Amino acid sequence: MTIGSSGEHTWRYRLWRHLCATYGGPFTLVGPRETLYDKTAEAPTSYAYADPDFPRGHLAGWGEGWQQMTPLIREAVRTTRADVLLVSLGLIDLGFYTNAEQTAANARAFVAEARAANPRIAMVWLPVIHNIRAANDEPFAAQVARFNELLAKAAADLDERSSPVLLASIPPAWDIDTDTYDGTHPNASGEHRLAEAFAEAMHQGWELGGEYAG
């Protein structure tokens, strides 16, 4: 969802273009990783983005979820001096590594680790969006719904004036047939919808940037 694979722009790129057009101050995207994922080779790749000005830094990994990110986030925040974390995680955890309750616990641990590096860190979390497995697997769909409830509670519990946590809204018109190329990973339309979810959360919650225009 976040790292992207070869040939994709990623929602990170769409959001960067939006902020370039609507945010008046200096900013960049940061992270210790810069790769996309090559699905043919089943390995990260340094495939060049179409726009050479795009800041490629991120912390995402193909097949990695909150369980894998939590031990890394403190050092990533410290070394990159990140101010805002944009988090789109959950499906990979629920589907392979942990259940809803364990993933929610990882979310809370993630916040503690990030704040250990920057007590004023701000975060935007995107709930798990609809995907093809949830459409075809009723118990898994229940896990997604349960996790999103727990994520909303964690965001409310952990939100602080000095270190705010925003819960972005799931794109209301999200359609796995038109917004993804495989029922899960976003195509160009889906990338815009995910970027808009983060952009609207920051604009409405913090007056950062403007309304998303695509």
- The pLDDT of residue 41 is above 90: no
- The encoded tokens of residue 106 equal 């990882």
Interior angle at CA 171, CA 167 and CA 177, nearest 5: 140
For residue 43, the model assigns a pLDDT of 80
Residue 36 in contact with residue 45, Cβ under 8 Å?
Answer: yes
**Rounded CA gap, 57 and 199, in Å?**
18
- The pLDDT of residue 190 is above 80: yes
- The pLDDT of residue 214 is above 90: no
Say which CATH architecture domain 11-206 belongs to.
3-Layer(aba) Sandwich (3.40)
- The pLDDT of residue 36 is above 70: yes
| Residue appearing with tokens 């609207």 | 200
Q: What is the mean pLDDT of the chain?
A: 93
Chain segment 59-93, per-residue pLDDT in tens? 999 989 999 999 999 999 999 999 999 999 878 88
Chain segment 17-34, per-residue pLDDT in tens? 999 999 989 999 999 999
**Rounded CA gap, 202 and 206, in Å?**
5
| pLDDT band at residue 48 using 50, 70 and 90 as cut-offs | low
In the chain, the percentage of residues whose pLDDT exceeds 70 is 97
For residue 51, the model assigns a pLDDT of 82
- Provide mean pLDDT across the span 158-186: 96
Chain segment 128-143, per-residue pLDDT in tens? 999 999 999 999 999 9
Give 128's contacts (C-beta < 8 A, 6+ positions apart): 90, 91, 94, 144, 147, 148, 151
- Provide mean pLDDT across the span 106-123: 97
| pLDDT band at residue 49 using 50, 70 and 90 as cut-offs | low
**Rounded CA gap, 2 and 185, in Å?**
9
